[in-house]
């Protein structure tokens, strides 16, 4: 859902804000059956996490820091088995 829209009149690329995407969720849920069954709060939280992660990534690009692909802490937590805590044997 993250992306950019092209303003063709002036040839500028305008970033789509996370708030705008959250406001479009109701329309998207009507159109797409795969999204319709997901609670809106879950989708909103996902958009906010993605926005935060990509802002951090592009902030590192701007500061010429190490460029790893954006990975949110939640994505890392999901790789750990739910029955076993991270770091335990």
Digit-coded pLDDT (tens) for 11-45: 677 778 889 889 999 999 999 999 999 999 999 99
Whole-structure pTM value: 0.59
Does the pLDDT value for residue 48 go beyond 90? yes
Does the pLDDT value for residue 84 go beyond 60? no
8 Å CB contact between 29 and 36: yes
The mean pLDDT value for 37-64 works out to 88
Query: What gap in Å lies between CA 21 and CA 69, rounded to an integer?
Result: 22
11 DSSP assignment: T
pLDDT of residue 46: 92
Does the pLDDT value for residue 61 go beyond 90? no
């Amino acid at each position: 859902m993250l992306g950019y829209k092209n303003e063709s009149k002036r040839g500028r690329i305008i970033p789509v804000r996370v708030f705008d995407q959250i406001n479009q969720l109701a329309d998207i849920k009507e159109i797409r059956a795969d999204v319709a069954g997901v609670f809106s709060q879950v989708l909103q939280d996902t958009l906010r996490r993605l926005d935060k992660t990509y802002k951090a990534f592009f902030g590192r690009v701007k500061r010429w820091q190490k460029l790893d692909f954006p990975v949110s802490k939640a994505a890392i937590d999901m790789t750990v088995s739910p029955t076993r805590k991270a770091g335990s044997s």
